[in-house]
Chains A and B, each alone.
Chain A
């Protein structure tokens, strides 16, 4: 599903050049539940942004869904994001003047789905999240967990192949965090690839594979024991 080869990325701020990603090689298969871990500044968010076509890489090969991603127009990137990817953000990123249903339906608006059809579908997805009664509430009337579930419904409505979650539990308490993670696992079990960026160990350990990032390189990849999440095997990187 995702294949990265020697991905480099630098940011230029004034005269300084900040080398954030220093050659990432990674392969994520379809249907995997992967987490990207690392301390702040390790480049995990940059990696997710590149994976999500929100940013472009400087060097290397990125293949998404068997298609090489090179410099492409924003219009095409927007189309790919809309069709292939779903985003879940730490700060939920709901549109404040649209109610829950309209927020969920928004990606379908960009696919020119009729208003009635997309709103019906949005309510259906909200129902799956247990938020049917909240469909007509504005984001500021929802709790953090509810907001994130609305955001997940919005990410799901286009039936994407990949869900990209950037610190999805970062703004939630632990109980709600587990709820959200259960939801993401459920989604993964339906066959969708889920990639979660987090700095929390226990969140990362709920995923199948942990990619540890440090200073722009992959430090290690941990395959979690699927039977027992608490025990994990550390596989050293082959040079």
Chain B
């Protein structure tokens, strides 16, 4: 490795035609640069989509009420109905594949005016009824205090959790909101927690005020009714099958024609998730293919140049063999040169690629709606790339080296 003569040979051979060496090296450098940059950007895309999906349960589905389209059991078509809290219990009891089920109920926002007041501060926020189970489907991060729990639901407690934006507008910076009160739509609520939505799905934003859905139903005179709920399937269970079972039970409970599928709106989120992930996997794969293709072009360039170098040095190699260089040594030396060239150029390509990916990351960092989030070069990818380079370096040198020793020393000596 640190054989001075070996290095002298390598540098002497590569220095003989500097421009040619540099251009060849550039081929490899750009190859690895493009590979690394593409993979970094691909990672950024993926991060972006994942962060907007957050920890939203991927095996979930959403149901909502529609009007019936078929007359059934003496009831007219175009009839309106609502889900009830008893539906939740019935579904839970009868569907073993069902993991979580949570109604999603919206309170009044103030429209153009304000719906939330505290001292001289006021704001207009999103009001949502929630439940501990909702936190399993569309999770939030508890920054301080706690989330809504079962007792809050059972006892119709007038408690709320607030999002970061709410805290920012309704409190001073150094104030602790926990235990304080907010007047929301005319009613005072005790703040029990500060939370941050982990995904933007189902209208979860930073300006959210959540309260137990039972409290919301009571205060807003909704009774035990609601329009929308989310459900997740247990791990390994099919969401589509779960949907069928939910539909069947709801149809029976609300006297809906068994074939009136339009009466209950539903949306398989899992399907969409799988599509999105599939898309990103395809893009990732495409990036690999493109990057690899460019890299191979560079490596072919190296092999080409090694061919020329070996041809140019035929006589020199002949002299060396005449005075005792064994074929293995000659082959080793040519491969050394090829590996050195590819690895050296590839290393700089890798470094430059990492820098570019970092710069892209820096440039998109502050943007409010980034398409690329935290792009980075996986250390494993970097090592794989280097390994591939060394492998290809060997390959690029092997063919010309074979050629070099196929020539008899006497012919090599005569070569001009």
Contacts and interface: CB of A to CB of B under 8 A. Distances in A.
A168 interface: no
Given A89-B413, A93-B413, A110 B322 contact: no
A158 interface: yes
A75 B326 contact: yes
Nearest to A106: B323
Contact of A54 (B8, B320, B410): B410
Interface of B is mostly: helix
A107 B321 CA distance: 10
Interface in A82-103: 82-83, 87, 89, 93-98, 102
Contact of A95 (B16, B316, B329, B413): B316
Given A54-B410, A109-B5, A79 B320 contact: no
A154 B326 contact: no
B318 to A, nearest CB: 8
B319 to A, nearest CB: 5
A55 B323 contact: no
A142 interface: no
B320 A74 contact: no
A120 interface: no
Given A55-B410, A95-B316, A110-B329, A87 B323 contact: yes
B323 A107 contact: yes
B331 to A, nearest CB: 11
A74 B405 contact: yes
Interface residues of B, number: 23
Contacts of A93: 315, 319, 322, 413
B405 A97 contact: no
A87 B328 contact: no
Interface string A100-136: 0010001101110001000000000000000000000
Interface in B150-199: none
Contacts of B326: 74-75, 78-79, 110
Contacts of A97: 8, 12, 16
Nearest to A52: B322
A155 B315 CA distance: 17
Nearest to B12: A97
Interface of A: 49, 52, 54-55, 74-75, 78-79, 81-83, 87, 89, 93-98, 102, 106-107, 109-111, 115, 154-155, 158
